[in-house]
Amino acid sequence: METKHTYIPQGTCSRLIEFTLDGTVVRDLRFTGGCHGNTQGVAALVEGMEAEEAIRRLEGIDCRGKGTSCPDQFARALREAMTQRTAAE
């Protein structure tokens, strides 16, 4: 079952993260704002990836000493979506 998610990142240049989970598989990741090339790259790389694998790879990435980054914020968004999914089951 596909579920669409929206997340407002904190501490990064991106202002919005939107993605779809097809079961536990990442689809259609889009960032609004942020470094366009980098966010497009992240979106292309995680397309079709299991959410837990994407979290494992992206969680904790830091941008310019901010303590977070667009990829890290996406990992947080995914973790939140997976927690909601588990709670709903």
Tell me, what's the pLDDT at 85?
84
Write the pLDDT tens digit of every residue in 39-84. 999 999 999 999 999 999 999 999 999 999 999 999 999 999 999 9
Write the pLDDT tens digit of every residue in 4-32. 999 999 999 999 999 999 999 999 999 99
Instruction: Indicate the helix (H) or strand (E) that contains 83.
Output: helix 70-88
**Domains in the chain: how many in total?**
1
Total residue length of the chain: 89
Question: Is this model's pTM higher than 0.85 or not?
Answer: yes
Domain of residue 52 covers 2-88
CATH number, domain of 27, equals: 3.30.390
Residue type, 63: C
